[in-house]
Amino acid sequence: MRILSEQKQVASSSRSPSLSRFSRKFQAGCPRTLPENLRPQVLAPPVRPSVCVAAAFGCGTLLHEARVFALPNAGVVALQCLARVPFYFHSHLKLVCRSWRDALSSSELFKARCEVGATEEFLCALAFEPENMWQLYDPLRDLWLTMPILPTEIRHLARFGVASVCGKLFVLGGGSDRVDPLTGDHDRIFATNEVWSYDPFLCQWKKRAPMLVPRAMFACCALDGKIVVAGGFTNCRKSISKAEIYDVEKDVWLPLPDLCYTRNSACSGLVINSKMHVLHKGVSTVQILEDGGSGWAVEDYGWLQGSMAVVRGELYVLSHCNIAKHQNIRMGEKVIVAQAPDFQSRIGYGMIGLGDELYVIGGLIGPGRMNQFIKPLADVDVLAVGSERPTWRQVSPMTHCRGSILGCTLLRV
């Protein structure tokens, strides 16, 4: 009955003489009667659109308080109500009416979700199979969502960088990993400067400004709302020390000081203590981007070699079938938090931290005594490193992707 009383209060209130464009559009497009699966038990049409949204998602109290504090227009209220709806339901709500579809596809929605504290964190992964298809993992609902295929002309994109900034996923550089089935030859595209972004609210990929230098197998990190790339290899397979930074809002790349050194090996990047660390495979030293991007400092922390991930600002390494935690990254202090014997024959997996947990995704089971074939995996194993006694568990496997993980990151929407 609270919904009915709120409806009467709203109906008796005076209509604002000047509504914003979004408010007028919302009021014109909202249906008078909701679909059966979204209709609350007590709803007496006709009602104002803002009441429709509030009633459908239990935001009646929010709407009433907004009216009391003289919120400028109903469009803002509606957007804040929709901002609280879990991302999983967006595709269903876009079918309700045109104004809801426009609101859920608006660039203002991510800002509203940030303001009301309703953002969600997803795990993004791209595996070797199928070609150029990303999937999102929702940890709260234990399910996978599939994105549209990346519309690049590069077949079997690999060796790229990936990061997420401002509610969007960015895929940068890399080259083709395609092999001609008849000749066995690899495609000639080893490195590119292509940049793609994916907007989860629009469900669309968009080509962005290219990097200044084509590169592959390079360090790539999101840092202070921007994207930093460094090192890697050119299309001629020559190692480079060039670094650059991408301004997401302006869609512009700017050069940074070169790395202090390069190696003839792949490099990767991690953000620890709000600083970007660049590591070369097989090298113990680390290059750290100085504050303000003025240069690079070189440190030897004695980190273990292996797959790395950051959980709540702390570094974890999977090495020799053990999960080790570096308690003091400068002193090299480490402690074994769990064993991982099942990963002895597992290669090509992705490892990433999400919340208080460590996720190991996909990969291959290589040939051995008991297995003569290579088996692509869709499995996802999770270690709760934040608990007193960390234990492994399995969550839902990837529904479409399987095999070697070519890239993974977190996406906050």
Residues 109 and 134 in one domain: no
Looking at residue 249, which CATH number applies to its domain? 2.120.10.80
Amino acid at 34: L
**Exposed/middle/buried for 38, CB within 10 Å: 0-12, 13-18, 19+?**
middle
- DSSP letters of 84-117? TS-GGGHHHHTTT-HHHHHHHT-THHHHHHHHTT
How far is it, in rounded angstroms, from Cα 239 to Cα 242?
9
In angstroms, how far is CA 135 from the centroid of its own chain? 10
How far is it, in rounded angstroms, from Cα 413 to Cα 402?
24
Per DSSP, the three-state class of 2 is: helix
Domain that holds residue 324: 120-147+304-413
Q: Mean of the per-residue pLDDT values for the chain?
A: 82
Residues 343 and 407 in one domain: yes
Amino acid at 83: A
Confidence band of 332 (pLDDT split at 50, 70, 90): low
206 and 199 Cβ atoms separated by less than 8 Å = yes
CA distances from residue 325 to 261, 262, 285 in whole angstroms, order as listed: 27, 27, 18
Q: Tell me which of 174-178, 320-324, 333-337, 351-355 is least confident.
A: 333-337
Domain end marker among 91, 115, 139: 115
Q: Tell me which of 33-47, 91-105, 141-155, 226-240 is least confident.
A: 33-47
Residues 392 and 354 in one domain: yes
Residues 90 and 142 in one domain: no
How far is it, in rounded angstroms, from Cα 29 to Cα 78?
13
Residues 246 and 337 in one domain: no
Residues 384 and 263 in one domain: no
Residue 362 pLDDT? 95
Residues 167 and 290 in one domain: yes
Residues 154 and 295 in one domain: yes
Residue 371 pLDDT? 67
Residues 241 and 277 in one domain: yes
Residues 139 and 157 in one domain: no
In angstroms, how far is CA 103 from the centroid of its own chain? 22
Residue 210 pLDDT? 98
Return the closest-CA partner of residue 354 out of 192, 94, 203, 140.
140
Find the mean pLDDT for residues 34-40.
46
How far is it, in rounded angstroms, from Cα 115 to Cα 14?
28
In angstroms, how far is CA 172 from the centroid of its own chain? 14
Residues 139 and 158 in one domain: no
Our count of domains for the chain comes to 3
Confidence band of 19 (pLDDT split at 50, 70, 90): very low
Domain end marker among 300, 334, 365: 300
Residue 11 pLDDT? 41
Residues 321 and 351 in one domain: yes
Tens digits of per-residue pLDDT, 136-195? 999 999 999 999 999 999 999 999 999 999 999 999 999 998 776 776 667 788 999 999
Tens digits of per-residue pLDDT, 93-109? 889 888 888 889 888 89
Return the closest-CA partner of residue 211 out of 236, 192, 225.
192
- DSSP letters of 30-53? S-SS--GGG--SS--SS--HHHHH
